Chains A and B, each alone.
Chain A
Amino acid sequence: MNETDADTRTVVVERDLPHPPDRVWRALTRPELIADWLGKTDFAPVAGHRFALGFDWGAVDCEVVAVETGRRLTYTWRSGDLDSTVTWTLTPIAPQTDTPAGAAPGATRLRMEQAGFPPGQPRYYGGARAGWPRFFAALEGVLARTA
Protein backbone atom coordinates (compact mmCIF):
# COMPACT_ATOMS: atom_id res chain seq x y z
CA MET A 1 0.00 0.00 0.00
CA ASN A 2 2.87 2.28 -0.66
CA GLU A 3 2.20 5.34 -2.65
CA THR A 4 4.84 7.59 -4.03
CA ASP A 5 3.92 10.98 -5.26
CA ALA A 6 4.95 11.39 -8.85
CA ASP A 7 5.59 15.10 -8.66
CA THR A 8 9.01 16.55 -8.15
CA ARG A 9 8.72 18.21 -4.79
CA THR A 10 7.28 15.68 -2.38
CA VAL A 11 7.72 12.08 -1.39
CA VAL A 12 4.64 10.46 0.09
CA VAL A 13 4.47 7.05 1.71
CA GLU A 14 1.20 5.97 3.26
CA ARG A 15 0.38 2.70 4.92
CA ASP A 16 -2.47 1.23 6.96
CA LEU A 17 -1.12 -0.27 10.15
CA PRO A 18 -2.97 -2.75 12.40
CA HIS A 19 -2.03 -0.75 15.48
CA PRO A 20 -3.83 2.02 17.37
CA PRO A 21 -2.70 5.62 16.79
CA ASP A 22 -1.33 6.04 20.32
CA ARG A 23 1.09 3.17 19.79
CA VAL A 24 2.17 4.46 16.38
CA TRP A 25 2.65 7.88 17.95
CA ARG A 26 4.93 6.39 20.60
CA ALA A 27 7.03 4.68 17.94
CA LEU A 28 7.34 8.00 16.14
CA THR A 29 8.25 10.10 19.17
CA ARG A 30 10.20 8.05 21.73
CA PRO A 31 13.94 8.17 21.06
CA GLU A 32 14.55 4.57 22.12
CA LEU A 33 11.84 3.40 19.71
CA ILE A 34 12.84 5.76 16.89
CA ALA A 35 16.32 4.28 17.13
CA ASP A 36 14.87 0.86 16.27
CA TRP A 37 13.35 1.83 12.94
CA LEU A 38 14.69 5.19 11.82
CA GLY A 39 17.91 6.32 13.46
CA LYS A 40 19.73 7.08 16.68
CA THR A 41 18.35 10.34 17.97
CA ASP A 42 17.88 12.86 20.76
CA PHE A 43 14.37 13.68 19.57
CA ALA A 44 11.80 15.29 21.87
CA PRO A 45 8.23 16.12 20.79
CA VAL A 46 8.59 19.83 21.48
CA ALA A 47 8.29 22.52 18.82
CA GLY A 48 11.63 24.22 18.30
CA HIS A 49 13.62 21.27 19.64
CA ARG A 50 16.70 20.55 17.52
CA PHE A 51 17.79 16.98 17.16
CA ALA A 52 19.89 14.73 14.99
CA LEU A 53 19.15 11.41 13.36
CA GLY A 54 22.15 9.15 12.96
CA PHE A 55 22.44 6.67 10.11
CA ASP A 56 25.24 4.44 8.92
CA TRP A 57 25.75 6.88 6.05
CA GLY A 58 25.81 10.04 8.19
CA ALA A 59 23.56 12.30 10.22
CA VAL A 60 20.55 14.41 9.42
CA ASP A 61 19.93 17.67 11.26
CA CYS A 62 16.36 18.24 12.27
CA GLU A 63 14.16 20.66 14.15
CA VAL A 64 10.66 20.02 15.38
CA VAL A 65 8.27 22.38 13.64
CA ALA A 66 4.89 21.33 15.02
CA VAL A 67 3.44 18.71 17.33
CA GLU A 68 -0.20 17.69 17.59
CA THR A 69 -0.01 14.81 20.01
CA GLY A 70 -1.31 11.59 18.51
CA ARG A 71 -2.23 13.23 15.22
CA ARG A 72 0.54 15.05 13.46
CA LEU A 73 4.25 15.66 13.72
CA THR A 74 6.39 17.89 11.53
CA TYR A 75 10.14 18.33 11.55
CA THR A 76 12.76 19.70 9.22
CA TRP A 77 15.15 17.26 7.61
CA ARG A 78 18.48 18.67 6.53
CA SER A 79 21.37 16.67 5.22
CA GLY A 80 24.22 17.69 2.96
CA ASP A 81 22.18 17.55 -0.20
CA LEU A 82 18.67 18.10 0.99
CA ASP A 83 16.72 20.71 2.90
CA SER A 84 13.25 19.39 3.48
CA THR A 85 10.32 18.99 5.87
CA VAL A 86 8.90 15.69 7.02
CA THR A 87 5.28 15.53 8.19
CA TRP A 88 3.72 12.48 9.81
CA THR A 89 -0.05 12.26 9.91
CA LEU A 90 -1.92 9.63 11.91
CA THR A 91 -5.56 8.92 11.13
CA PRO A 92 -7.59 6.36 13.08
CA ILE A 93 -9.23 3.85 10.75
CA ALA A 94 -11.49 0.84 11.22
CA PRO A 95 -9.45 -2.13 12.48
CA GLN A 96 -8.49 -4.68 9.89
CA THR A 97 -10.14 -8.06 10.26
CA ASP A 98 -6.80 -9.84 10.50
CA THR A 99 -5.73 -8.09 13.72
CA PRO A 100 -3.41 -10.57 15.43
CA ALA A 101 -4.68 -12.25 18.59
CA GLY A 102 -3.74 -10.27 21.66
CA ALA A 103 -3.10 -7.11 19.70
CA ALA A 104 -4.48 -3.84 20.99
CA PRO A 105 -7.61 -2.78 19.12
CA GLY A 106 -7.48 -0.02 16.55
CA ALA A 107 -5.73 0.71 13.32
CA THR A 108 -3.97 3.71 11.90
CA ARG A 109 -3.42 5.17 8.49
CA LEU A 110 0.10 6.57 8.66
CA ARG A 111 1.17 9.08 6.07
CA MET A 112 4.68 10.44 5.68
CA GLU A 113 5.11 13.41 3.45
CA GLN A 114 8.54 14.83 2.76
CA ALA A 115 8.53 18.13 1.00
CA GLY A 116 11.82 19.61 0.07
CA PHE A 117 14.36 21.39 -1.92
CA PRO A 118 17.10 19.74 -3.91
CA PRO A 119 20.84 20.39 -3.66
CA GLY A 120 22.16 23.76 -4.63
CA GLN A 121 19.09 25.55 -3.49
CA PRO A 122 19.95 29.09 -2.64
CA ARG A 123 19.45 29.38 1.08
CA TYR A 124 20.30 33.04 0.91
CA TYR A 125 17.15 33.74 -1.01
CA GLY A 126 14.43 34.25 1.57
CA GLY A 127 11.60 34.04 -0.91
CA ALA A 128 12.48 30.54 -2.06
CA ARG A 129 10.19 28.83 0.39
CA ALA A 130 7.20 30.86 -0.62
CA GLY A 131 8.08 30.82 -4.28
CA TRP A 132 8.74 27.18 -5.01
CA PRO A 133 5.35 25.68 -4.25
CA ARG A 134 3.66 28.29 -6.37
CA PHE A 135 6.17 27.68 -9.11
CA PHE A 136 5.66 23.95 -9.08
CA ALA A 137 1.90 24.25 -8.91
CA ALA A 138 1.99 26.33 -12.05
CA LEU A 139 4.54 24.10 -13.68
CA GLU A 140 2.64 20.91 -12.97
CA GLY A 141 -0.34 22.32 -14.75
CA VAL A 142 1.81 23.09 -17.73
CA LEU A 143 3.43 19.66 -17.73
CA ALA A 144 0.06 17.96 -17.46
CA ARG A 145 -1.18 19.83 -20.48
CA THR A 146 1.91 19.11 -22.56
CA ALA A 147 2.13 15.41 -21.63
Chain B
Amino acid sequence: MTPEPHHLLFAALADPTRRAIFERLCRDGDLTVGSLTAGAGVSQPAVSKHLAVLKRAGLVGDRPDGRRTHYSARVEALAPLADWTERMSGFWRDRFDALEDVLRRMDQ
Protein backbone atom coordinates (compact mmCIF):
# COMPACT_ATOMS: atom_id res chain seq x y z
CA MET B 1 0.00 0.00 0.00
CA THR B 2 1.31 3.43 -0.92
CA PRO B 3 1.19 5.85 2.01
CA GLU B 4 -0.81 8.93 1.17
CA PRO B 5 1.36 11.95 0.32
CA HIS B 6 0.05 13.99 3.25
CA HIS B 7 1.23 11.36 5.64
CA LEU B 8 4.72 11.45 4.16
CA LEU B 9 4.78 15.22 4.42
CA PHE B 10 3.71 15.42 8.03
CA ALA B 11 5.82 12.50 9.11
CA ALA B 12 8.83 14.10 7.43
CA LEU B 13 8.32 17.37 9.30
CA ALA B 14 7.59 15.75 12.64
CA ASP B 15 11.22 15.06 13.40
CA PRO B 16 13.04 18.07 14.88
CA THR B 17 16.35 17.25 13.19
CA ARG B 18 14.68 16.91 9.80
CA ARG B 19 12.75 20.10 10.40
CA ALA B 20 16.00 21.86 11.22
CA ILE B 21 17.59 20.54 8.03
CA PHE B 22 14.61 21.68 5.98
CA GLU B 23 14.60 25.11 7.63
CA ARG B 24 18.29 25.45 6.94
CA LEU B 25 17.75 24.63 3.27
CA CYS B 26 14.95 27.21 3.17
CA ARG B 27 17.24 29.78 4.70
CA ASP B 28 20.58 29.05 3.07
CA GLY B 29 19.62 27.63 -0.32
CA ASP B 30 21.60 24.85 -2.00
CA LEU B 31 23.75 22.85 0.39
CA THR B 32 25.72 19.62 0.28
CA VAL B 33 25.43 16.84 2.85
CA GLY B 34 28.78 17.95 4.21
CA SER B 35 27.75 21.52 4.89
CA LEU B 36 24.40 20.38 6.26
CA THR B 37 26.15 18.05 8.66
CA ALA B 38 28.19 20.90 10.08
CA GLY B 39 25.90 22.29 12.75
CA ALA B 40 23.26 19.55 12.48
CA GLY B 41 24.46 17.80 15.61
CA VAL B 42 24.23 14.38 13.97
CA SER B 43 26.48 12.27 11.75
CA GLN B 44 26.67 12.60 8.00
CA PRO B 45 24.96 9.22 7.39
CA ALA B 46 22.13 10.38 9.66
CA VAL B 47 21.80 13.61 7.69
CA SER B 48 21.70 11.57 4.47
CA LYS B 49 18.89 9.45 5.88
CA HIS B 50 16.93 12.54 6.87
CA LEU B 51 17.46 14.02 3.42
CA ALA B 52 16.09 10.83 1.86
CA VAL B 53 12.91 11.14 3.96
CA LEU B 54 12.53 14.82 3.05
CA LYS B 55 13.09 13.98 -0.59
CA ARG B 56 10.45 11.25 -0.53
CA ALA B 57 7.99 13.77 0.92
CA GLY B 58 8.76 16.17 -1.93
CA LEU B 59 10.23 18.73 0.46
CA VAL B 60 13.76 18.53 -0.87
CA GLY B 61 15.20 18.30 -4.35
CA ASP B 62 18.73 17.26 -5.29
CA ARG B 63 21.08 18.27 -8.05
CA PRO B 64 24.25 16.27 -8.77
CA ASP B 65 27.33 18.39 -9.36
CA GLY B 66 30.32 16.19 -10.11
CA ARG B 67 30.92 14.02 -7.07
CA ARG B 68 28.76 16.19 -4.88
CA THR B 69 25.03 16.50 -4.61
CA HIS B 70 23.39 19.81 -3.79
CA TYR B 71 20.14 19.77 -1.87
CA SER B 72 17.50 22.50 -1.92
CA ALA B 73 14.13 23.10 -0.27
CA ARG B 74 10.89 22.84 -2.23
CA VAL B 75 8.52 24.99 -0.24
CA GLU B 76 5.64 24.34 -2.67
CA ALA B 77 5.43 20.84 -1.16
CA LEU B 78 3.97 22.51 1.94
CA ALA B 79 0.76 23.44 0.08
CA PRO B 80 -1.36 20.61 1.58
CA LEU B 81 -0.88 22.22 4.97
CA ALA B 82 -3.14 25.06 3.83
CA ASP B 83 -6.12 22.83 2.98
CA TRP B 84 -7.69 22.59 6.41
CA THR B 85 -7.51 26.34 7.01
CA GLU B 86 -9.62 26.96 3.92
CA ARG B 87 -12.18 24.38 4.99
CA MET B 88 -12.41 25.73 8.52
CA SER B 89 -12.57 29.40 7.49
CA GLY B 90 -15.84 28.85 5.63
CA PHE B 91 -17.19 26.79 8.49
CA TRP B 92 -16.50 29.48 11.10
CA ARG B 93 -17.89 32.32 8.99
CA ASP B 94 -21.16 30.39 8.73
CA ARG B 95 -21.09 29.74 12.49
CA PHE B 96 -20.58 33.46 13.16
CA ASP B 97 -23.68 34.21 11.07
CA ALA B 98 -25.67 31.69 13.11
CA LEU B 99 -24.27 33.13 16.35
CA GLU B 100 -25.46 36.59 15.35
CA ASP B 101 -28.96 35.20 14.82
CA VAL B 102 -28.86 33.68 18.31
CA LEU B 103 -27.65 36.96 19.85
CA ARG B 104 -30.45 38.89 18.17
CA ARG B 105 -33.01 36.43 19.50
CA MET B 106 -31.55 36.80 23.00
CA ASP B 107 -32.52 40.47 22.81
CA GLN B 108 -36.18 39.62 22.87
Is B11 a contact partner of A120 (Cβ separation < 8 A)?
Answer: yes
The verdict on A68 contacting chain B, using a C-beta distance below 8 Å, is: no
Interface size in chain B (residues, C-beta < 8 A): 38
Q: Which residues of B contact A2 (CB under 8 A)?
A: 93, 96
Chain A interface bracket (under 10, 10 to 19, 20 to 34, 35 or more): 35 or more
Is B83 a contact partner of A15 (Cβ separation < 8 A)?
Answer: no
CA distance A135 to B22 in the complex (A): 10
Interface 1/0 per residue, B4-22 and A, CB below 8 Å: 1011011101111001000
Is A37 a contact partner of B92 (Cβ separation < 8 A)?
Answer: no
The prevalent SS among residues of B at the interface is helix
Contacting residue for B10 out of A7, A37, A122, CB 8 A: A122
Chain A CB count within 10 A is highest, among B15, B19, B82, B83, for: B19
Q: Which residues of B contact A118 (CB under 8 A)?
A: 6, 10, 80-81, 83-84
Q: For residue A62, give the distance in angstroms from its CB to the closest CB of chain B.
A: 14
Q: Smallest CB-CB separation from A135: which chain B residue?
A: B19
Contacting residue for A13 out of B82, B96, B100, B101, CB 8 A: B96
CA distance A12 to B16 in the complex (A): 27
CA distance A106 to B76 in the complex (A): 46
Q: For residue B75, give the distance in angstroms from its CB to the closest CB of chain A.
A: 6
Chain A CB count within 10 A is highest, among B4, B83, B106, for: B106
Residues of A within 8 A of B (CB): 2, 4-5, 7-11, 13, 15, 17, 19, 23-24, 26-27, 33, 36-38, 81-82, 100, 102-104, 110, 112, 114, 116, 118-122, 125, 127-128, 131, 135, 138-139, 142-143, 146
Residues of B within 8 A of A (CB): 4, 6-7, 9-11, 13-16, 19, 23, 26-27, 75, 78, 80-85, 88-89, 92-93, 95-96, 98-107
